[in-house]
Structure 1
Amino acid sequence: MYFIELLLLAYFTYVTLYSFFLSFAALFYKARKAREADYKSKIAVLIPAYKEDGVIVDVASQALKQNYPGNRFDVVVVADSLKPATLVQLRRLPITVVEVSFDKSTKVRALNKAMETLGDTYECAVILDADNIMEPQFLRKMNNLYALGYKAIQGRRAPKNENTEMALLDGLSETINNFIYRQGNVAVGLSSCINGSGMFFEYKTFRDVMSSMDAVGGFDRELEYKLIEQNMGVYYAKDVVVYDEKVENAEVFEKQRTRWISSQFVYLKKYFGKGISKLFKGNFGYFNATVLRNIQLPRLMNLGLLTFITFLSIVLSTYVEITPWVWLSLLFLNFLAMMFAIPGRLYNRNLLKSVFMVPAIFWRMFLLMFKLKGANKSFIHTPHGHVGHTESKNI
């Protein structure tokens, strides 16, 4: 029994201190100020769209509304399994439509096929999801940072819909992730975690790295590892915003998290040995991305389990070796790390209503741990349908 307690203590001490350290460091993050670049790079805005008929026309239209010279960027929709009527609407817009078709559709294959079709006419690439809306200054700000020498940049994804408690919680989760794994990483000199969209890359670098990949799920994880391996860290641009649709119901949330958790453990297994090897060769950033981050359970799972263990330690205090005060201290630090990450404007009644959903979501995620087998072998599509965007103001 004491051995099990020690194992649990070791794990939750590591998880808590890891999150608390990066969350505290994120408080000292300062966004890089970049002057207006004289040269405007030619940019391809790549939008893979798999069965996204409900949102892609609006997203493509919105993508054209950039404060950036019109002859220096192209919106490219990579159309996979879209309806004929949707394709007709897209071709009425001043954009490029690249139709693709695969036996097994993935974002990697769609992007690789698009870049193969486009050729070498671009200097930079922006990657969006089919539900993403860029702020009007997105390309201009990214180009300014690129002029400073950044070849890989992650923008800040902000929620564009807050119409359900689930959407509020999903947006809050991303806010915390942005703060800890992106803002915190950059603050301590590590590469920002990337999250699949709202990304900006030097075109040639992105094309070359992607050509070596054929990931089914979690392609952003493998992309990040390959960039770090080439000593190309990802910069997090907090002030460059892209609006992202958050899931609105529990069923979609479950499918999305199944894909994410499965890919996390697939890549942990695939890169664990290499991550250890890189650590001994002095590449701590690679070790951090492939091992330290992936070896953790999802944050909500950690919080739920730690709360449960703390409760048990109090109830069974006369039967356990480790004092409840140890677990209470870890739980406090865990909450403190999240409090650092949540902006003050989000503390209100709506947030409290959403928090009441956490136990049910924790239980769903706990059950997901027994449904992961094979989840990363096929593409799990997250449907979108919300049109319009507003940055989170009243959560």
Structure 2
Amino acid sequence: MNIMILYTLEILLFIIMSLNVLYILIFSIASQKKYRVPAFNDKKTNKHFIILIPAYKEDKVILECVKSCLNQEYPTDKYDIVVISDQMSEETNELLSALPIRLEIVNFENSTKAKALNFAMSHLDGYDIALIMDADNTIKPDFLEYIDKVPFTETIVAYQAHRIAKNKNTNIAYLDAVSEEINNSIFRLGHVNLGFSSALIGSGMAFRYDYLKEELAKIDAVGGFDRALELTLFRDNKKIGYIPDAYVLDEKIQNHKDFSRQRKRWMSAQIHYLVHFWKDIPHAIKTKNWDFCDKMFQQMSFPRLILLGLIFIISFIVSSLDSSLGVKWWILLCVLLMSLALAIPRNLYTKQFLKATTALPVSFFSMFLNLFCMKGANKKFIHTEHGSK
């Protein structure tokens, strides 16, 4: 009887893991097709932009971000830059004040991105498009021109730009850069190629201003405000496009400690919003709201690194108990590795990449241990320092 229960659990676990791997495989294959962003026309429409940059203790990186935003090949009277400075030094604020931007200085008791953005938008109007940036981001001079050409409609209310690594100076940073591009392939390019919406990623996001102002005001997220906004948007039958040629450079995590903190924040948000939006699944299925259903499946799925590590460990354990049962697990592991390899751009296959993979075991265990200390993680903002070398 006990053996039958173990066999049943092993089969159930294999089915769950296989669904996760199949999902990754399908969208990895779909990402191999080049995507052309729909445009109204090739002429400039000169939309009026507001670039919103929440900056919590970001003294080391904020000036580089702002300067890249100021250096746009776009009419200067058609975009404004707003930095929401939260707990940055007086010296940094003075330097920012000397630039042609709008500086909002706040001092929240419990700081969050959503609070900072809502504070700025509460008294700003007259814009067509809101672009949300992180303080460690930089953009190229033609960035706003790309955003200007894409169609914002009653249904398509947001676009995600192509976020890539600004740095690959450590093994962890390189792995983070690879992970970012896997996300771009699977959750953005692969999705839009199959008719789904792109996923958001927290920065490099362009929204129809009126929609963002109204919907974000209803969100009081501590972590993962982009997940909350995304699920709210999909629940309202809105769509998100993807602009693969509009690049945002993002600073990557450089050490295991920051990696663990960042992933803990992400996993906490994943669980929190799975619970929060769970009740909306039946209606979404009934109304064939596949974008919402797809996003909820993502919320239920294992993080990739956890999935990879668990399948490897289970393959080893099952094979040691019964080699015939272990075969299917090793095949599943190979399919997962092939799917991930397919999603990684060829230019990232370097000697440094091979060296960086040595950091995978420690990264897996730090994420795995996070699963047992999630209590309260979504009640206080977990800050990850940028600009450290």
Length-normalised TM-score, structure 2: 0.95
- Aligned pairs for 1:322-337 within 5 A: 323-337=325-339
Measured after TM superposition, the shift of residue 336 of structure 1 is 1.2
For residues 276 and 158 of structure 1, the distance between their equivalents in structure 2, rounded to whole angstroms, comes to 36
How far off is 1:32 after superposition?
1.6
Does residue 122 of structure 1 match 2:127? yes
User: Residue deviations 1:7-40, cap 9 Å, x none?
Assistant: 2111111101111011111112412254433320
Residue 375 in 1 paired to residue 377 in 2?
yes
CA contact (8 A) 1:245 1:386 kept: no
RMSD, matched Cα: 1.5
- What CA deviation, in whole Å up to 9, does each residue of 1:79-106 have, x standing for no partner? 1111111110000001111112222111
**Is the Cα contact below 8 Å between 2:64 and 2:138 reproduced in 1?**
no
Instruction: Determine the structure 1 residue equivalent to 2:3.
Output: none
Alpha-carbon offset, residue 184 of structure 1: 1.2
More displaced 10-residue stretch of structure 1: 237-246 or 36-45: 36-45
Q: How far off its partner does 1:148 sit? A: 8.0
User: Of 245, 267, 277, which residue of structure 1 is paired with 2:273?
Assistant: 267
Number of the residue aligned with 1:152:
158
Could you tell me which of 213, 226, 232 is aligned with 2:219? 213
- Is 1:349 aligned to residue 354 of structure 2? no
Q: Which runs of 4+ in 1 moved over 4 A?
A: 147-150
Are the counterparts in 2 of residues 157 and 243 from structure 1 also a CA contact under 8 Å?
Answer: yes
For the residues of structure 1 that align with 2:189 and 2:282, how far apart are their CA atoms?
A: 24
Alignment match of 1:285 (pick from 252, 272, 291): 291
Q: Count residues with an aligned counterpart.
A: 382
- Give the distance between the partners of 1:334 and 1:37, measured in 2 at CA: 43
Q: 1:190 to 1:202 in 2, by over 3 A?
A: same
Pick from 378, 382, 385 the counterpart of residue 387 of structure 2.
385
Q: State percent identity of aligned pairs.
A: 38
Cα distance in 1, alignment partners of residues 342 and 282 from structure 2: 31
Tell me which amino acid in the other structure corresponds to 2:385: P
Q: Does 1:192 align with 2:198?
A: yes
CA 1:148–1:266: 2 relative to 1, 3 Å = closer
State the match for 2:301 in structure 1.
296
Are the counterparts in 2 of residues 52 and 384 from structure 1 also a CA contact under 8 Å? yes
Determine the structure 1 residue equivalent to 2:65. 59
Question: Which residues of structure 2 form unaligned runs of 5+?
Answer: 1-5
Tell me the alpha carbon deviations over residues 341-388 of structure 1, each in whole angstroms, 9 at most, x when there is no partner: 11112112100000011011111111111111100000111111169x
The letter for the 2-side match of 1:300 is L
Asked if the contact 1:313/1:324 (under 8 Å) is kept, the reply is yes
Unaligned runs of 5+ in 1: 388-395
Answer whether contact 2:28 2:343 (CA < 8 A) is retained: yes
Check whether the contact 1:314–1:324 (CA below 8 A) recurs between aligned residues: yes
1:143 pairs, out of 124, 143, 148, with 148
Aligned twin of 1:44: 50
Q: Which amino acid aligns with 1:339?
A: A
In 1, distance between residues paired with 2:388 and 2:380?
25
- Which residue of structure 2 lines up, in the alignment, with residue 163 of structure 1? 169
For 1:202 and 1:148, how far apart are their aligned partners in 2?
8
Deviation at 1:312, TM superposition (A): 2.0
1:151 shift after superposition: 2.8
Partner AA of 1:363 in structure 2 = F
- Asked if 1:7 is matched to 2:9, the reply is no
Counterpart Cα distance in 1 of 2:319 and 2:109: 55
Give me the whole-angstrom Cα distance separating, in 1, the residues matched to 2:282 and 2:341. Answer: 32
Pairing partner for 1:85 from 86, 91, 107: 91
